[in-house]
């Protein structure tokens, strides 16, 4: 494939190639930055256009929109505390407090640089190590995935700002919500109470947008209105200087690595990576004490990891023909339409196409920096409109975004309900990030647990005794849970 | 009285009651699964048990600690916004996207303190109108339409 | 744009006059509903068909998605709609004949006016290429020797992939000696087949070609062109109704659609399925075209609904 790179770059640097990359990225950033409208809707909007395009431009357009929207999601997360997707939920935790302090520009700067680095590294890894990583992904069966998800669940503790008990409870509520609907093994209906609309369960995005974006509107409505144009002070992205990176590079490297590894494993995804990376940052960063109060390392952890996932997710997609997430599944289907059979021979049979996809992905990530800075300058005046217009527009946009996720007005009802409940819970200091983690990880946790029990004939201990990778991950999970407690005990004794 | 009947305690109580009710509902259905771990209710019961346990701890904490609640600046405003948003999200499916959006904006903007009627009407018509034009008539991904016409 | 409009109205006029009853249908855009996510197989098939369908019917046609509950949410929502011909759903064998028999959905056998079938692919039972099993006899022997050891996968309970494996192993009389491991979609299942956590999987030819796999039998009435050495299920000794399985799909309107509207939609469907553009699309995407008109499709659909009930019983759903 590497030998096909020069020819691939030739394709990319044509007028059509550049146009697709730039316009796709711009569109992705804009759509991702709109509250309520995330990657799913962005991809759905461009999908019809890809049908009439050539193979490489079609895939590149999807990739550009996808990568752009993942990055764009961090903009609304930081500026107005409304993540468009679950994967930028962790970005809010430190991004919004920074914005409230009047450091919105630099907060976005951290997010931008972290995203770009995450994306670029994952593109390089993709180009040079896709086959090896794909072989690694095959080592992860249901039982290993179960252990990984268990480790992911421990993040609930680290993202529980305020009360750990309330955070854990929110996590349980999230997992419970994910069990509503069809049982994954037997197909029987649970907690639907005869309502066929619930057969499909609670839509993750509807709940996420409800508890973050809509409840944010309610919270603003409950606070006194200030007459000045007052959202946040923002005049465009300010890039952090080299000095500011001092002591933060380790955290960045770690976050990129976490994003890459998790992206490679099918069935996990960007939100999982962002949360695990955030939790790891909170455990090991020298600036860990500031996490949750507006610490740049929190933004870096989450953004570097969720962007690194986009490249990682392409590994099993391109090397094995197994989609890493919902968006890569769309890419595979698009390839099929163009007469290409995804599978282990994909790279071998279409070296130029794959090389141009990989190289294009690299360029897209390079483009994020200038395009992000440019768009942020253009968009800055929008933030100066009166809060009233912004809040009303958020509700309307959320309705549009959630409607298009599954084309079902019932999801709007779920969003409304989630917004109201989220408002009540947030007023009681119940953090919402754990609820999202629970909903994201819950289905895989249950599925892999029960798959594992089928494979081991109901022997739960065999999960760990027969599967060394699972054993290591489980020990890591235990440590992740016990270390904060241990640390807490030590500081209490010292005091 | 204030100590037991405030918003914090009530919300925590409701969370506990919901969890217990859901747990009770898991016994109403019978499933054909042969072993316990593969029953569709096996996993939800574990989660609900943890939820109940945590809710009890949270409730006790709430009762023991006296904390002041963030005050609501204006009950009228928050009431209007929440009710309008809930009705709005409920009626889009039946009444279409455009008309409910216009009405929602007409209610929500004054609630948030906009007094200029020209600005209110302009925003209320332009924003939903632009979205309908974009999605229904340009991109071919229609938002729900009203009972009067398929155009919006 | 004007030109396109003129052409489409001209085509509409031709169809309208041929259908004798010129009641003005269609006078607004027609909505083709894909009961799955945008970008999925069903969705892309519909998007491939839509422009040709629009040309044939003489009206704007758009594809919308209503995903969830293995397609039952869209079907349930459509079943309550007025049968005006402006809302059609592309439903597969599972959405229309399997799900209503295993779930308490508000629709059933008589909820639909079938318009036309579009595609049908036989399914195959397959193993990884390095698997020791060469024939169905090998499998029966190995499973009987070690009951409870071997695992077959599926893309979910009640999915076509599940029914394929159930038909194979129930037909061979070894279903109870095997374990079923459902996944969420075919992708993860294929990965585990490659990795060796499951030994058997069943899906269409297009999907089988995504990996390094080898077919053991095909649920078709004849052997497949691409796999002349793979026996049909009947040859292996599997009896009807378990011996033939097709992942088919077609357009459905709610029950009670007026006959002349049905006729117009049927004619448009036939013309669009036979169009060069769609043929090329099908060829590229590995879609096996299988057109049936309204009456024929209705009879086929009803027969399938009945015969699949025995399969559902075998699967224990």
CA distance A425 to C268: 54
Same domain, C40 and C69: yes
- Contact criterion met (CB < 8 Å) for B143 and A183: no
- The nearest CA of chain B is from the CA of A146 a distance in Å of 14
* Torsion angle of C-alpha atoms B6, B11, B13, B18, degrees rounded to 10: 160
Enumerate residues 6+ apart whose C-beta is below 8 A from C186: C155, C161, C203, C207
Q: What 3-state class would DSSP assign to C40?
A: coil
Closest CA to C234 of C226, C225, C223, C224: C223
pLDDT, tens only, A444-486 = 999 999 999 999 998 999 999 999 999 999 998 888 888 777 7
Residue whose structure tokens are 């076509």: C160
Does A196 lie at the interface with C, CB-CB under 8 angstroms?
Answer: yes
Closest CA to A58 of A339, A316, A368: A339
B33, exposed or middle or buried, with CB in 10 Å at 0-12, 13-18, 19+?
middle
- The answer to whether residues A70 and A112 touch, using CB atoms and an 8 Å cutoff, is no
Q: What 3-state class would DSSP assign to C204?
A: strand
Which residues of A, range 17-56, sit inside 8 Å of C by Cβ? 43-44, 47-48, 51
Closest CA to A145 of B38, C181, B49, C160: C181
C217 - beta bridge partners? C125
- Which among C236, C259, C274 is the end of a domain? C236
Same domain, C109 and C133: no
Our measurement of the distance from residue C275's CA atom to the centroid of its chain's CA atoms, rounded to an integer in Å, reads 21
User: Token digits for A412?
Assistant: 């709007």
- Predicted confidence (pLDDT) at residue A381 exceeds the cutoff of 90: no
E-assigned strand segments in C13-111: 30-34, 61-65, 87-92
A-contacting chains (≥3 CB pairs under 8 Å) = B, C
Q: Parallel, antiparallel, or unpaired: how do β-strands C201-204 and C112-128 relate?
A: antiparallel
- Predicted confidence (pLDDT) at residue A330 exceeds the cutoff of 90: no
Q: Total domain count for chain A? A: 1
pLDDT, tens only, C275-308 = 999 999 898 888 899 999 999 999 999 999 998 9
Compute the mean pLDDT over every residue in chain C, rounded to the nearest whole number. Answer: 88
C63, closest residue in chain B (CA to CA): B141
- The nearest CA of chain B is from the CA of A285 a distance in Å of 29
Does C105 lie at the interface with A, CB-CB under 8 angstroms?
Answer: yes
Same domain, C42 and C178: no
- Contact criterion met (CB < 8 Å) for C39 and A333: yes
Closest CA to A481 of A34, A158, A169, A245: A158
Instruction: Specify the pLDDT at position B117.
Output: 93
* Nearest CB partner across the interface for C28, out of B32, B141, B150: B150
Compute the mean pLDDT over every residue in chain A, rounded to the nearest whole number. Answer: 88
Instruction: Specify the pLDDT at position A382.
Output: 82
What count of other Cβ atoms lies within 10 Å of the Cβ of residue A139? 12
CA distance C215 to C143: 18
User: Token digits for A446?
Assistant: 């249950």
- The nearest CA of chain A is from the CA of B107 a distance in Å of 10
Same domain, C7 and C113: yes
CA distance A104 to A99: 4
Domain region containing C202: 122-236
So where are chain B's domains? 7-64, 75-137
- Predicted confidence (pLDDT) at residue A5 exceeds the cutoff of 70: yes
- Predicted confidence (pLDDT) at residue C21 exceeds the cutoff of 60: no
Is 0.85 exceeded by the ipTM? yes
Instruction: Specify the pLDDT at position A106.
Output: 93
Q: Is residue C38 part of a domain?
A: yes
Which residues of chain B have a Cβ shorter than 8 Å from any chain C Cβ?
A: 32, 140-142, 150
- Which among C195, C212, C236 is the end of a domain? C236
CA distance A113 to A29: 15
Same domain, C256 and C116: yes
- Contact criterion met (CB < 8 Å) for A337 and C284: yes
Does C28 lie at the interface with B, CB-CB under 8 angstroms?
Answer: yes
Backbone angles phi, psi at C64, to 5 degrees: -125, 160
Does C157 lie at the interface with A, CB-CB under 8 angstroms?
Answer: yes
Closest CA to A208 of A200, A198, A216, A197: A216
Whichever domain contains C52, its CATH number is 3.40.190.150
Radius of gyration of chain C (CA): 21
- Contact criterion met (CB < 8 Å) for C67 and A406: yes
Q: Total domain count for chain C? A: 2
- Contact criterion met (CB < 8 Å) for B142 and C64: yes
CA distance B67 to B63: 10
- Predicted confidence (pLDDT) at residue B22 exceeds the cutoff of 80: yes
Whichever domain contains C159, its CATH number is 3.40.190.10
User: Token digits for A265?
Assistant: 């494993």
Judging contacts by C-beta atoms under 8 Å, the chain A residues touching residue C184 are: 184, 267, 443, 447
Between A489 and A88, name the one with better pLDDT. A88
- The nearest CA of chain B is from the CA of C28 a distance in Å of 8
pLDDT band at A268 (very low <50, low <70, confident <90, very high): confident
Judging contacts by C-beta atoms under 8 Å, the chain B residues touching residue C31 are: 142
Q: Is residue C241 part of a domain?
A: no
Same domain, C296 and C310: yes
- The nearest CA of chain A is from the CA of C163 a distance in Å of 13
E-assigned strand segments in A344-475: none
What count of other Cβ atoms lies within 10 Å of the Cβ of residue A242? 6
- Which among C206, C236, C266 is the end of a domain? C236
pLDDT, tens only, A186-226 = 888 899 888 889 988 999 999 999 999 999 999 989 988 76
Listed range (A172-186, B76-90, C35-49, C90-104) with the worst mean pLDDT: C35-49
* Torsion angle of C-alpha atoms C227, C230, C232, C234, degrees rounded to 10: 170
pLDDT band at C2 (very low <50, low <70, confident <90, very high): very low
- Predicted confidence (pLDDT) at residue C230 exceeds the cutoff of 50: yes
CA distance C79 to A142: 38
Mean pLDDT score, B24-52: 85
pLDDT band at A48 (very low <50, low <70, confident <90, very high): confident
DSSP track, C91-135: EEHIIIIIHHHHS--S--TTSEEEEEEEEEEEEEEEEETT-S--S
Percent of chain A with pLDDT over 90: 43
Domain region containing A186: 2-494
Closest CA to B132 of A403, A28, C77, C48: A403
First-residue to last-residue Cα distance in chain A: 60
First-residue to last-residue Cα distance in chain C: 51
């Amino acid at each position: 494939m590497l030998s096909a790179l020069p020819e691939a770059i030739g394709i990319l640097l044509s007028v059509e190639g550049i146009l697709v990359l730039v316009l796709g990225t711009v569109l992705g950033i804009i759509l991702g930055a709109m509250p309520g409208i995330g990657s799913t809707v962005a991809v759905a909007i461009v999908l019809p256009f890809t049908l009439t395009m050539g193979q490489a431009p079609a895939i590149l357009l999807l990739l550009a929109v996808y990568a752009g929207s993942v990055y764009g999601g961090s903009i609304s997360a930081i500026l107005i505390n409304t993540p468009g997707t679950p994967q930028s939920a962790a970005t809010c935790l430190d991004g919004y407090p920074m914005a409230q302090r009047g450091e919105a520009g630099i907060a976005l700067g951290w997010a931008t640089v972290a995203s770009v680095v995450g994306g670029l590294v994952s593109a390089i890894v993709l180009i040079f190590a896709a086959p090896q990583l794909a072989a690694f992904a095959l080592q992860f069966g249901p039982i290993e995935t179960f252990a990984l998800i268990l480790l992911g669940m421990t993040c609930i503790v680290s993202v529980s700002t305020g009360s750990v008990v309330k955070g854990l409870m929110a996590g349980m509520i999230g997992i419970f919500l994910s069990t509503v609907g069809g049982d994954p093994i037997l197909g029987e209906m649970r907690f639907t109470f005869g309502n066929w609309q619930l057969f499909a369960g609670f839509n993750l995005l509807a709940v996420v947008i409800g508890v973050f974006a809509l409840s944010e509107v309610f919270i603003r409505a409950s606070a006194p209105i200030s007459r000045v144009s007052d959202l946040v002070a923002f005049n465009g992205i300010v890039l952090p200087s080299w000095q500011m990176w001092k002591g933060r590079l380790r955290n960045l490297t770690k976050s990129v690595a976490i994003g890459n590894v998790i992206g490679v494993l099918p069935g996990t995804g960007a939100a999982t990576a962002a949360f695990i990376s955030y939790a790891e940052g909170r455990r090991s960063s020298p600036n860990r004490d500031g996490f949750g109060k507006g610490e740049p390392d929190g933004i870096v952890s989450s953004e570097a990891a969720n962007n690194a996932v986009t490249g990682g997710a392409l590994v099993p997609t391109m090397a094995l023909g197994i989609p890493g997430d919902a968006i890569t599944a769309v890419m595979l289907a698009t390839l099929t339409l163009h007469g290409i059979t995804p599978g282990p021979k994909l790279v071998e049979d279409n070296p130029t196409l794959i090389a141009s996809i990989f190289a294009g992905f690299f360029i897209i990530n390079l483009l994020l920096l200038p395009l992000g800075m440019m768009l942020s300058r253009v968009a800055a005046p929008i933030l100066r409109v009166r809060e009233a217009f912004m809040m009303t527009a958020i509700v309307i946009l959320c309705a549009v975004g959630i409607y298009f996720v599954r084309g079902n007005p019932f999801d709007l009802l779920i969003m409304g309900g989630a917004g109201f409940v989220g408002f009540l819970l947030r007023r009681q200091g119940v953090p919402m990030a754990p609820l999202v983690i629970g909903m994201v990880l819950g289905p895989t946790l249950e599925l892999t647990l029960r798959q594992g029990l089928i494979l081991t004939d109901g022997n739960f201990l065999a999960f760990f005794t027969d599967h060394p990778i699972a054993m290591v991950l489980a020990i890591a999970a235990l440590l992740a849970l016990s270390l904060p407690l241990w640390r807490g005990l030590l500081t209490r004794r010292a005091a | 009285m204030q100590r037991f009947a405030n918003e914090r305690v009530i919300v925590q109580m409701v969370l506990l009651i919901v969890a217990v009710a859901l747990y009770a509902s898991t016994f109403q259905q019978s499933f054909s699964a042969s072993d316990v771990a593969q029953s569709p209710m096996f996993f939800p019961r574990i989660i609900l048990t943890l939820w109940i346990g945590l809710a009890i701890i949270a409730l006790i904490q709430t009762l023991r600690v006296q904390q002041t609640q963030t005050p609501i600046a204006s009950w009228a405003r928050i009431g209007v916004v929440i009710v309008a948003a809930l009705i709005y999200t409920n009626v889009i499916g039946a009444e279409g996207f455009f008309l409910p959006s216009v009405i929602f904006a007409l209610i929500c903007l004054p609630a948030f303190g906009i007094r200029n009627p020209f600005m209110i009407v302009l925003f209320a018509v332009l924003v939903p109108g632009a979205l309908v034009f974009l999605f229904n008539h340009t991109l071919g991904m229609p938002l729900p339409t009203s009972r009067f016409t398929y155009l919006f | 744009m004007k030109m396109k409009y003129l052409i489409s109205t001209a085509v509409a006029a031709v169809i309208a006059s041929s259908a004798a009853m010129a009641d003005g249908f269609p006078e607004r855009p027609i909505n083709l509903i894909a009961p799955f996510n945008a970008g999925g197989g069903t969705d892309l098939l519909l998007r491939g068909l839509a422009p040709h369908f629009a040309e044939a019917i003489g009206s704007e046609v758009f594809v919308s998605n209503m995903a969830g509950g293995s397609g039952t949410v869209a079907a349930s929502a459509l079943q309550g709609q007025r049968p005006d011909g402006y809302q059609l759903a592309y439903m597969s064998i599972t959405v229309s004949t399997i799900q209503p028999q295993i779930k308490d959905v508000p629709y059933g056998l008589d909820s639909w006016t079938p318009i036309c079938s579009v595609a049908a692919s036989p399914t195959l039972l397959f193993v990884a290429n390095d698997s020791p099993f060469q024939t169905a006899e090998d499998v029966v022997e190995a499973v009987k020797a070690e009951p409870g050891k071997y695992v077959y996968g599926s893309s979910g309970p009640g999915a076509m992939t599940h029914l394929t494996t159930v038909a194979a192993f129930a037909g061979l009389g070894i279903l109870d000696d095997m374990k079923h491991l459902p996944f969420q979609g075919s992708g993860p299942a294929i990965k585990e087949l490659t990795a060796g956590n499951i030994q058997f999987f069943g899906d269409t030819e297009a999907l089988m070609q995504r990996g390094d796999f080898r077919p053991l039998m095909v649920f078709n009435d004849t052997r497949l062109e691409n796999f002349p050495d793979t026996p049909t299920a009947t040859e292996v000794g599997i009896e009807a109704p378990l011996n033939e399985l097709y992942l088919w799909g077609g357009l459905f309107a709610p029950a009670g659609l007026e006959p002349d509207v049905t006729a117009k939609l049927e004619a448009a469907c036939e013309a669009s399925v036979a169009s060069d553009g769609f043929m090329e699309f099908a060829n590229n995407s590995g879609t096996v075209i299988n057109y049936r008109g309204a009456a024929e499709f209705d009879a086929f659909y009803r027969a399938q609904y009945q015969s699949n009930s025995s399969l559902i019983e075998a699967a224990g759903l």
